[in-house]
Chains A and B, each alone.
Chain A
Amino acid sequence: MTPDLSVTLGTLTLPNPLIAASGCFGYGLEYEHVVDLASLGGVVSKGLFMKERQGHPPPRIVETPAGMINAIGLQGIGVHRFVKEKLPLLRAAGARTFVNVCGTTLDEYVEVSKVLSQADGIAAIELNISCPNIKEGGIQFGCSLNGTYDVVSAVKKATHLPVIPKLTPNVTDVASFARAAEDAGADAVSLVNTFLAMAIDVETRRPKISNVMGGLSGPAIRPIAVRMVWECYQLVKIPIIGMGGIGDARDALEFMIAGAAAVQIGTQNFIDPFVWSKVLDGLAEYLTRHNLSKLSDVIGTFDPTPPKAVHA
């Protein structure tokens, strides 16, 4: 029997839980020649504002132990060019397209979402209220419970599309932000965005990236992200999309067992653009080995019973 890897996110059904994370997969089309976009659960676009943005000057990334810090600065083509130039091609490729929506003001989030609502072929809006790398907007909503509530409510009123705020881990209690998003009508939440971080060149005593600070991603953050997904799962009923350093099926399962209904892969796609089929094979193998017919049966099955103190 072929294992059933499908998952549901509210009204959306995905053939599998693997979604390409925003900012780690271009507009998706860059990867069309190495991966069948229709074979993914979904693709999240780069963050989009109303207008084009140039982003920060290079260098924009630096590698750190088991991770990387980035401050790209949301370079992007703007929502109108995305709808005109990219969306038709994503639709033709069979991609389930999630659009990452940015704003410098609450009104801009609403305006971008309205433009997307009139376009064909968008699965959901991921609200970027968590980018650590720009001065205005984004994180100022994501770091305030009222701000999170207000932006989610306003966007929900402006669109029929599912709204999925992407939460920042740079707060004391991420679960309370998931709750604020749920109270405001969010259809799901995704977490985590990157951890605010910096790296210094000790020879020059200068920063390693031009923006000085940036967001840490990769395997280094995975245990913290898993903990945050588990905290949110205990507090909210809406589906959670988990992410943070997922590189293989075991990592994806860790998030799903902690409560994630789907997962995103970001940094690992840079390291291995062929990661997708490997993770899918690993998930199917796990189901077979555990005699399970449906992957969705593992969601939230974490058992907090302490492990044995000795090796089995």
Chain B
Amino acid sequence: MPPVDVDATVIANARLSSDYSVLSLAAPEVGKRTQPGQFVMVKPAGVTDPLLRRPFSVFEVLRTDNGDVTGVSILNKRAGRSTRKLYELEPGDVVSCLGPLGVPFRPVLAPMEAWMVAGGVGLAPFATLAQALAAARTPATLFYGARTAAELFYLDFFESLGATLVLTTEDGGRGIRGRVTHPLETALQNVGPDGAMIYACGPEPMLEAVAKLARRYNQPSQVSVERVMGCGLGGCYSCVIAVKHGDEHANLVRSCITGPVFDGAELVWES
């Protein structure tokens, strides 16, 4: 279905910490169309600062108690001018919201397991994926790493869907101290015969490490990347990433329309 552009009213902007908020938007037409892993292009409406929209994975599809879709939320982390402005929005403010965009995750079915690997704000696409996996009764594990215990969010939500949680923090304040790739590698060493589909979203060095681990242990992976993006529709050629199929030479492809979800084995890392 084609994307729609909505002048969406802010329903709520729940500050989870001094950096993170969940921005809920009245955009039912976007929500109805969204599949797990897709994204929206967002900016405060009617201003030239910021000028361009920024890409955000859809975090939640919002519904009434009756199940009617009312909108979407995004998980916003203050990092630059645009995300600072989004953090400061209040209910009643209006944002331009274009979407859903991009290639969604491909779900897997039992007996294969689904392992979601999230780093920081990379948690965003996994709320809707975890719901889809739970609905399909696929066994799911969330490997979730953050800087501190205070930046591990929505744990009850994932637990209520039956996902197993493996948590890491850089300071050791909760879960395992260190990087999320460490418990992932331990798990890969003991993966069952039916295998696991590894889904990853987070900082690019983490994505590279996850994709390489998945390859080393012969498991498939789906990696959601984030590049500096201008339009979200394939028009500007800003958000390119190197992809290699088999023996072909690497090509720069647009992560907005060929991704943002890629087969981790096909991505060529620049580092």
Contact = CB atoms under 8 A, between A and B. Distances in A.
A58 B234 contact: no
A72 B51 contact: no
A65 B230 CA distance: 15
Contacts of A67: 51
A7 interface: no
Given A63-B52, A65-B49, A66-B51, A26 B2 contact: no
Interface in B178-232: 227-228, 230-231
B235 interface: yes
B240 to A, nearest CB: 6
Contact of A218 (B51, B233, B239): B51
A157 to B, nearest CB: 32
Contacts of B238: 58-61, 70, 72
Interface stretch (A177-185, A266-274, A292-300): A266-274
B235 A33 contact: no
B252 to A, nearest CB: 5
Interface string A45-80: 010000000110111111101111010100100000
Contacts of B231: 269-270, 273
Interface residues of B, number: 30
Contact of A60 (B43, B235, B240, B257): B240
A59 B73 CA distance: 27
Interface centre among A60, A66, A267, A269 (most CB of B within 10 A): A60
A272 B96 contact: yes
Contacts of A24: 235-236
Given A34-B2, A67-B51, A271-B53, A75 B237 contact: yes
Nearest to A267: B51
A302 interface: no
Contact of B240 (A33, A62, A75, A272): A75
A65 B48 CA distance: 8
Question: Secondary structure of the B side of the interface?
Answer: loop
A120 interface: no
A75 B236 CA distance: 10
B65 interface: no
B234 A30 contact: yes
Contacts of B96: 272
Nearest to B251: A54
A55 B82 CA distance: 27
Interface in B30-70: 43, 48-53
Given A272-B5, A274-B5, A219 B233 contact: no
Interface string B233-257: 1111111110000000001100001
A237 to B, nearest CB: 34
Interface string B1-20: 01101000000000000000
B52 A270 contact: yes
B234 A75 contact: no
A75 B233 contact: no
Interface in A206-253: 218-219
Contacts of B239: 58
A276 to B, nearest CB: 12
B98 interface: yes
A236 B230 CA distance: 35
A60 B228 contact: yes
A141 interface: no
Nearest to A52: B251
Contacts of A269: 231, 235
Contacts of A65: 49
Given A24-B235, A24-B236, A273-B98, A58 B51 contact: no
Contacts of A63: 50-52, 82
Nearest to B53: A271
A270 B240 contact: no
A270 B230 contact: yes
Interface centre among B3, B51, B238, B239 (most CB of A within 10 A): B51
B18 to A, nearest CB: 20
Contacts of A62: 228
Contacts of B156: none
B241 to A, nearest CB: 7
A29 to B, nearest CB: 9
A98 interface: no
Interface in A158-204: none
6 interchain residue pairs of minimum CB distance = A30-B234, A270-B231, A33-B2, A61-B238, A66-B48, A59-B228
Interface of A: 23-26, 30-31, 33-34, 46, 54-55, 57-63, 65-68, 70, 72, 75, 218-219, 267, 269-274
Interface of B: 2-3, 5, 43, 48-53, 82, 96, 98, 227-228, 230-231, 233-241, 251-252, 257, 270
17 contacts: A25-B235, A26-B233, A46-B237, A55-B240, A58-B227, A58-B238, A58-B241, A58-B252, A63-B52, A66-B48, A75-B240, A218-B51, A267-B51, A270-B53, A271-B52, A272-B5, A274-B5
